[in-house]
Amino acid sequence: MEKMWAGRFAEALDKEADDFNSSISFDCKMYREDIRGSMAHATMLGARGIISEADVEVILGGLASILADLESGALAFDMDCEDIHMFVEAELTKRIGDAGKRLHTARSRNDQVALDVRLYLREQTGEIVVLLRELLAAVVDKAEENKSVIMPGYTHLQRAQPITFGHHLLAYAMMLMRDVGRMEDAVKRMNQSPLGSCALAGTTYDTDREMVARALGFDGITMNSLDGVSDRDFCVELMSAYAIAMMHLSRFSEEIILWSSWEFKFVELSDAYTTGSSIMPQKKNPDMAELVRGKTGRVYGNLMALLTTLKGLPLAYNKDMQEDKEAVFDSIATLKKCLSVFAPMIATMRVNVQNMYRAAQGGFINATDLADYLVKKGMPFRAAYKTVGQIVALCIEKKTVLDDLPLDEYRKHSELFAEDLYGSISLETCVEKRISAGGTGKASVEAQIACVRAFLAGK
Ligand code: ARG
C-alpha cells in the first residue's frame, strides 16, 4: 500500500521497518475517539468556511458508516495501515472520494493522536472509577456486617491493640475513595483539547478550536501548541493514579492471603475465587489475590517505562511517544481486570469471627489499656508503661494473660489497681473506649460507614 506521505520518497519503506513503525495493532483501540474527533474537526472546518458544507455532510456520513461497520464487524482494520488515523482517513477516501482528502486540512496526526489518547483515557478512567465504586460498595457492606467483630490490630505484624474488622476494612475504603479522587482530578486537568495545535506550531487557517473542544466535551483548549502535541503528563499522572490503586489492592491482597492461611484462618474465600493444587489435594489457594499482588509490578513498570521514554525528548512530537499507548492500555486493562475480580471476591469472603476473637485474646493486646487504667488513676504515663511492662513479663513467666492474673499480684506492682481493672481491659472495653475521631470505637466506625455511603451516593 502506498503511504500517504509517499510524495517525497523515491523508494518504498523496508517491510521490517514498516512493521516496526506501525502502531495500528494497538492504537486501533481508539477508533471511536479518532472518528469522533474527525467528525468534530470536519464540522468546525465547515462552520469556518474552510471546506464546503457539502463536503462536511459527505465526510460525516462516511465517518458514521465506517464507525457502524467497525462496530458490527463488517469492516476490519487494515494492518497494512501505519496507524488508526491513516486507516480511518484512507477508508474514508475509499468510500467518499475527494471530500475525504479534505478532512486533514488544518490538522496533523500529532494533534490528532494527542486528542484521541485524551478522549480514550477519559472514557476508560470513567469505567475504572465505576469499578472502584463497586469495590468500595462491597468493602463498606463487609465493614458494616463486621462492625462489631473484634480482631487484633497489628503493627510490625505483631499483635498491637484490638480493633474491629469493620474498622480494618474501612481503612481500605478510605484509600479507594482517594483513588477515585486522584483519577477524577487527573481527568479534570487532562480535559483540555489539543486539536488545532496541528503539527507543532498551530495553523494558518482561521479555525475555531473552542468549538471543537465543546463538541468533544472538553473544558477548554491547550494554550500552547508545542505543549498540546508533545506532553504526555496526563498519561503519567493517570498511570501513577492507576499504580497507586494497584498498590492499595496489592496490600489488601497480601492481607487476604495471610488471613486465609491455616496460621491465621480469619477469612475463607469463596470457592469461586480460589483454586486447587494439581498435586496437593488439601489445597485451596488464594490465586486471585496473589495475581492482583503480582500484577501490581507490571502496572508500576508501565509507569516507569513511560516516564523514562519521555525524559529526554526535545519538543515537540517525537516518534518515541508512540510508546505511550501500549503502556497505558496495559495498565488500564490490568487494573480493570483486577477490580472486576476483587469486588466479588470481597463480597463472597466469609469471616471467621471466633478465630479473630481468639487471636485478639493473645499477645497482651490490652496492655496499653492497662497502662491507661493506671494513668486515669493518677500515675504518669511513662511510669504506668513501665509497671505494665513488668506485669506482662510476669504473665509470660507464669504462662498467663493480663485478664487472668489475680488482683493481689497486680497490687504488688501498684496500690492503684482495684477490681475494676478487669472490666477496663476486656477486649470489648478496649474497642469501645477508643472514642477518638477516626478510632475503632463504635461511633467512629459508624461515621466512617456513613461517609463512604455518602460518597457512593454522590453526596
Ligand atoms: N502513531 C503515532 C503515535 O502514536 C501517531 C502520530 C504520528 N505522527 C507523526 N508525525 N509521525 O504517536
Phi, psi of 162 (to 5 degrees): -70, 145
Measured in Å, residue 319 CA sits from the centre of ligand 1 at: 6
Q: How far is the CA of 425 from the centre of ligand 1 (A)?
A: 67
Output the average pLDDT for the chain.
96
25, 261, 277, 436: which one is catalytic? 277
Closest CA to 162 of 175, 172, 153: 153
Q: Which three cell numbers stand for residue 99?
A: 471530500
**Mean predicted confidence (pLDDT) in 14-21:** 94
With a 6 Å cutoff on the Cβ, whether 83 touches ligand 1 is yes
The confidence score (pLDDT) of residue 175 equals 98
pTM for the full predicted model: 0.94
Spatial CB neighbours of 75, under 8 Å, sequence gap ≥ 6: 66, 69, 91
Q: How confident is the model at residue 392 (pLDDT cuts 50, 70, 90)?
A: very high
CA–chain centroid gap for 373, Å, is 43
Ligand 1 pocket test, candidate residues 81, 85, 113, most atoms within 8 A of CB = 113
199 vs 108: CA distance, rounded Å: 5
User: Cell numbers of 411, please?
Assistant: 497490687
* Ligand 1 pocket mutation, candidates 116, 322, 325, 329, criterion most atoms within 8 A of CB: 322
Residue nearest to atom 4 of ligand 1 (CA): 322
Q: Which three cell numbers stand for residue 305?
A: 517505562
- Judge contact between 162 and 364, C-beta under 8 A: no
pLDDT tens per residue, range 87-120: 999 999 999 999 999 999 999 999 999 999 999 9
- Residue 34 Cβ inside 6 Å of ligand 1? The answer reads no
The pLDDT of residue 4 is 79
Give the ligand 1 atom nearest the CA of 82: 1
Indicate if the pLDDT at residue 276 is higher than 90: no
- DSSP-assigned letters across all residues of 158-210: EEEEEEEHHHHHHHHHHHHHHHHHHHHHHHHHH-EE-TT-TTTT--SS---HH
Question: Does residue 191 have its Cβ closer than 6 Å to ligand 1?
Answer: no
21 Cα: distance to centroid of ligand 1 (angstroms): 9
Residues in the chain: 459
Is 225 one of the annotated active-site residues of the chain? no
Record the cell numbers describing residue 218, joined without a space: 472538553
Amino acid making up residue 330:
D
Arithmetic mean of pLDDT, 202-213: 98
156-177 pLDDT per residue, tens: 999 999 999 999 999 999 999 9
Residue 445 — pLDDT band, cuts 50, 70, 90? Answer: very high
277 part of the active site: yes
Averaged pLDDT, 243-249: 98
Compute, in angstroms, the gap from residue 318 CA to the centroid of ligand 1. 8
